[in-house]
Structure 1
Amino acid sequence: MAIAAAKICPNFIVTSSEEGLKVWEMDARFQLTVTTVNLGKVKRLINCIMVDDDDSVAYCGSTTGDVVKVRLNLVPAPPHPVLETCMSKPPPKSRRDGIMPSLLNGNYAQGVRAIVRVGPKELVIAAGDGTVDLIEELHTLKPKKLEAGNKCPTQHSLKKVKSCKIKSQITSLNKFKTNSLLLGTKGGDMYSLSAVSFKDPTLKSTSHPGSINSVVVPQVTSEVFVTCGYGDIRIWKIKKSDSKIQEASRILQPGLTCLCVIVNQDGSSIISAWDDGCIRFHAPQSGRLIGEIKGAHQAKVTAIAITSNSQRIVSGGQSGQVRVWDKYQSWNLKKVFGEQRGVIHQVAMKDDDLEAASVCEDGSCYVWKIDPNDEPSCKITLQTTSKLSGVSFFPGSGTLLMTTGMDRKITCWDTATGTAIRGLDTHCSITSLFVPRKGEMFITGFEDGTIRVWSLLKGEDAFCGIGHGAGVTSIAMGSDNSYIISVSSDGSIFYWPCPQQVVRAYKAKQEESLQNSSSRHPATDR
């Protein structure tokens, strides 16, 4: 459950588990010798371990909220490490509602999570309830007795000097510079705290505490992007001058997981798919819930896409159903397709809003006709031999479609005939796909945490990004093609400035489209 290395003797480490505390020694032949710490009758589950600067003792924070102090006896080697004492704060002196303070009142709520030394006699203890205390260890106290011959295992030998509170469960603590502390929380937040004043913790950074399932950049601006995961949707602001990312706001849904998020074309609504079977619409500025499709799918809603006029939504669910929704005064179910079997991983919308495509873990890709003037129907079925993870139409290409799968293949299809016209083999299973609206490339994310930028014409990978510690779950590109955002299952967000070749190709494409539009609509003299 916890591990710490000795400071002076680097070949010693201290570990904790359900079996107790153990000290490990590695010799010159890289062989380990283990010694179990003698705790006597004291039974504790240890959350964290801090070895003192001189390797004489180790302070161990327990789940019961007290601190176990162990004398290590590393040098000389023969004596075994033994328990020295169990420590906690004194119980409160005041009596409330006629209840006497118990012996456990001095213990930290939700256990001691981290310990660090900041002075000759001072320790900083962080607890699971968000309490951070600067304490001083007292050495003059004698063990108190509960009954004759029965000593209390925990002594009230910790004196609180200063204290502050964090609104989250603290998971880690460390010294930063001279008089500062860094605190990590279960919610993915990092705070800095002055070790002198112990006041006003400052939020330094924040992130999702778990897997990030989806990321999207609005078409109306490249200054923000949106991510989603367990319990919330987060809106981030990008400062391009120094490539800094800062959280702007959160949309909270406690206890639920958002599996997919998109933004409509005019940026007026954030549309999200949730594991309770609902599709929700939120205002980007305030985060207010402005609409909801309850029971959109029987189980989880796993993928969504919306037309450019925001009047039709195509959604995919965990059971393999694809549903078409039309907006009148409210969202009404237009059509249900049940041909696919398994989780729908992605739904893509064609740029003319007349077709949509969905890929499923059964290896099928269905192209649906969703012309508002006709009844929605299936246009064609594309079948592969492995799970498909991504799908996208080529902008302005007419009938070209791209799919990616767990078989490491990128396939380009002609939806008019249903034939695969080109295939690329990659090095790893592909987990995400993004094709920008303008430009000459596409981007893929892989299970090994890498992303690759591919040339659309040559079919070769032009650039590779390495950095994620887990599989990439989603990719997006800024509306000006100046950066790429990738997210992964370990909760990390990576900002990649686009290579200059990509930016130049995008600008050339823009100039070409402007020239074509001006030639079609020449100015006339009045």
Structure 2
Amino acid sequence: MSGDTEDCPQLELEVVIGFNGHVFSGMVAHPDREHLIYCLGCNVIIKSLLTNKKDILYGHTNNVSCVTVSKSGRYVASGQVTFMGFKADVIIWDFSKKCIHARLQLHKAKVEAIAFSPRDKYLVTLGGQDDSTVVVWNVETKEAICGSPASAHSAGHCLTVQFCNNTDDVFASAGCGTIRVWELDLANRKIRATECQTGQLKRIVKCIEIQHDDAYFYCGTTSGDILKVNMKTRLLNSFGPVKQKFIKGVIAMKVLKTGDLLVGSGDGILTLCSESNFKTLKQVQLEGGVTSVTLRGEGQQFFVGTEASQIYRFNYVDFKEKLIVTSHSSAVWDVAFPYGSSELFATCSENNIRVWHTETSKEMLRISVPNMTCNAISFTPDGKSIMSAWSDGKIRGFTPETGQLKLTVHNAHTIGVTAIAITRDNSRIVSGGGEGQVRVWEILADSHSLLETMKEHKASINCIKIKSNDKECVTASSDGACVIWDLVRFVRNQMVLANTLFKTVCYHPEEYQIITSGTDRKIAYWEVYDGSAIRMLEGSLSGAINGMHITLDGKHFVTGGDDKLVKLWAYENGEMTHVGIGHSGSITSLKICPNSKFIISTSKDGGVLRWRYPQPVH
């Protein structure tokens, strides 16, 4: 049986936890006031503000770099990054049908910014630093009308573009050493640019906002001030604030109907300031630098996205933030359920561990360890601790209710702790490190001691599983070996070898077989008794298999990896029964919850997805 997914029934994707807060202006509110549109990896997410339901737009081949919506709401457009020498796609989506209206290919390496004209006639796209061109497209015919270098000199690099509110023929662009107003000459298929004069001021502009009557436009700069430019004369009108500049630059802006400005800065402060002298009227500190500000309707309500991958909702009147979306801002490396409970699950990534409520997908607890990466987590079988493996070589134990640190094993491994498992009697931890050592620790009420160090592996330990009687464990390593260890005598019982970097291993519940997978894309069944190979399946057509988990009855197991697909397999015959399409980054880990209602999978783009486990699986 191969990893071909063509004819497989699909797993039902129920919940997507994830938002890429690093993309500037990577979140926009739909004009219908009912949807929020934002990017996660190479997908575009449409989230209903009323039901919380999420639709995913698939089509990009790499990470989405910008997203926008047309004034009528009929179209959504998104651009992506790609590799040097390759074309970076712009996709125009039909919002109501949730399908591709047009795929536009001209820019190289990256699409920096995009904007629709007010009557949905045109889309202007801006290439990244390696492309540096402005192209105007006809939305209906899906063809390029004209293009031009974005800046007058090669050192100039354009970062943002914005159409006027009342005419389809004029737009503004700005960036490093350039602020321009463009006029479209449709008859001659040309765009003509006029450089705006700013005198002695030299600024790098990150965002543009145009007044509702198109008289002036504002440029938010990395220097932390705002330039006000006359649209007709192309001259600098004023700039400010002069004294209290916005720290870490002005990253996102929105003009309100009152004329006042919402300003999001790189230090995480959202400011309401007056349009006349840029004086601060109200201010709120958020977590992570502000990267997106978008208005719902007229602006009585608005949404703010930050680099910490959080989305806040504000009401204009009280100017108080309400956190509505939280997610990991970097790769999620592991997921774990408490022993025998499906109510909660934990995930880990750089800087933190998070505990989620399974049914509601709400974040219940966040445990932060700054500047460290948590590589693996496991609940103790008694449910009283979350044990975690960290890049600084420490094992840390936390209480799942409060997140309080209750155990630290210093210098557990020299090149970081990469895998961890706990015995059923809660008395021992088996840990693996980047240097290839497997260590067994005894955990007492207020102390711990090293029982044994087992040295067979030559590379990092990627997965550890302990047999239910606590007398044996299996370790999977990047050295191409899986070792079955005797935890009574601390010696090797058996070793299986393959031409692969083993990423994951599971005991069958009856514990007479193990299944492994890794970079060779194979799923292998092995006999525990003598280490002999029983069966080999083609697990994936592209990329490593990084995660695997088996059901309690042993009839099915799930896999996930670099092909971004969640696959459900029948153990007995090795047939793939279901496939889950939804991840936009490589899958790092996945678990079936103990009551077999859901599958939780995590990925390198920071996404955490919940799938409905098919009932019954035949």
1:88 aligns with 2:240: yes
Residue 390 (1) aligns with residue 504 (2): yes
Q: CA RMSD in A?
A: 2.6
Flag the 1:30–1:364 CA change in 2: closer, same or farther, 3 A: farther
- Partner AA of 2:225 in structure 1: D
Amino acid at match of 1:182: F
2:313 equivalent in structure 1: 192
Over residues 479-523 of structure 1, what are the superposed CA-to-partner deviations in whole Å (9 max), with x where a residue is unaligned?
111111111111111111211114xx8xxxxxxxxxxxxxxxxxx
**Displacement of 1:127 after TM fit?**
1.5
Instruction: Say if 1:6 and 1:55, in contact at 8 Å, map to a contact too.
Output: no
Correspondences of 1:481-520 after superposition (within 5 Å): 481-502=596-617
**TM-aligned CA distance change 1:52 to 1:456, over 3 Å:** farther
TM-aligned CA distance change 1:359 to 1:10, over 3 Å? farther
Q: What is the identity percentage for the equivalent residue pairs of Structure 1 and Structure 2?
A: 30
CA distance in 1, matches of 2:493, 2:486: 6
> Which whole-Å CA distance do the structure 1 matches of 2:476 and 2:373 have between them?
21
Question: Which residue number corresponds to residue 76 of structure 2?
Answer: none
CA–CA distance in structure 2, aligned partners of residues 66 and 16 of structure 1: 25
2:147 aligns to what? 32
SS of aligned partner of 1:137: coil
Partners of 2:466 and 2:472 within 8 A in 1: yes
What is the CA-CA distance between 1:194 and the residue it aligns to?
A: 0.9
Q: Distance in 2 between matches of 1:420 and 1:51?
A: 67
The answer for the alignment partner of 1:412 in structure 2 is 525
State the Cα distance separating 1:52 from its structure 2 match: 5.3
Paired residues of 2:556 and 2:571 also in contact (CA < 8 A): yes
Checking the alignment, whether the CA contact within 8 Å between 1:347 and 1:359 is kept in structure 2 is: yes
Q: Please tell me whether the aligned partners of residues 569 and 575 of structure 2 are also in contact (alpha carbons under 8 angstroms).
A: yes
Aligned to 1:216: 336
Matched residues in 1 for 2:495 and 2:259: separation?
A: 72
In the alignment, the residues of structure 2 paired with residue 248 and residue 49 of structure 1 have an alpha-carbon distance, to the nearest angstrom, of: 37
Alignment CA distance shift 1:20-1:111 (3 Å): farther
Q: CA deviation at 1:198?
A: 4.1
Question: Could you tell me which residue of structure 1 aligns to residue 593 of structure 2?
Answer: 478
- Counterpart of 1:202, as a letter, is K
Deviation string for 1:428-447 (max 9, x for gaps)?
Answer: 32111111333511010121
| Aligned position for 1:339 | 456
The answer on whether the counterparts of 1:220 and 1:266 sit within 8 Å (CA) in structure 2 is no
- Out of 470, 473, 482, the position equivalent to 1:365 is 482
Once the two structures are TM-superposed, the CA of residue 408 in structure 1 deviates from its matched residue by 1.1
Shift of 1:63: 1.1
Question: Structure 1 residues 460 and 269 mapped into 2: Cα distance closer, same or farther (>3 Å)?
Answer: same
Aligned residue identity for 2:308 = G
State the match for 1:110 in structure 2: 248
CA shift digits 1:257-284 (9 cap, x unpaired) = 1110000111111100011101111111
Tell me the equivalent position of 2:432. 316
Alignment of 1:289-308 (within 5 A): 289-308=405-424
Whole-Å separation in 1 of the counterparts to 2:294 and 2:383 = 41
Code of the aligned partner of 1:109: I
Whether the 8 Å CA contact 2:454–2:490 is kept in 1: the answer is: no
| Equivalent position to 2:370, from 232, 238, 254 | 254
Q: Which amino acid aligns with 2:563?
A: D
In 2, Cα distance between equivalents of 1:395 and 1:19 = 54
In the alignment, the residues of structure 2 paired with residue 15 and residue 370 of structure 1 have an alpha-carbon distance, to the nearest angstrom, of: 60
Distance 2:214 2:494 in 1: 70
Q: 1:328 to 1:128 in 2, by over 3 A?
A: closer
> CA offsets, 1:235-275, max 9 Å, x none?
11133xxxx21111111211211110000111111100011
| Contact 1:14 1:21 survives alignment (8 Å) | no
SS in 1 for 2:358: strand
- For the Cα contact (< 8 Å) 1:3–1:48, is it kept in 2? no
Q: Kindly indicate whether the alpha-carbon contact (under 8 Å) linking 2:132 and 2:149 is maintained by their aligned counterparts in 1.
A: no
For 1:357, the aligned partner's letter is V
Q: Which range moves more in the overlay, 321-330 or 358-367?
A: 321-330
For 1:18-57, what aligned pairs fall within 5 Å after superposition? Answer: 23-26=134-137, 28-29=143-144, 32-36=147-151, 37=180, 38=195, 41-51=200-210
* Separation in structure 2 between the aligned mates of residue 55 and residue 7 of structure 1, nearest angstrom: 13
The one of 349, 358, 363 aligned to 1:238: 358
Please identify the structure whose Cα radius of gyration is greater: 1
Q: Which amino acid aligns with 2:269?
A: T
TM-score w.r.t. length of structure 1: 0.80
- Deviation, structure 1 residue 123: 2.5
Corresponding residue of 2:516: 403
Whether the 8 Å CA contact 2:125–2:136 is kept in 1: the answer is no
Higher relative contact order, structure no. (Cα contacts within 8 Å, ≥ 6 residues apart): 2
Q: How many residues align?
A: 455
Name the residue aligned to 1:95. Answer: none
* Superposed displacement of residue 401, structure 1: 0.6
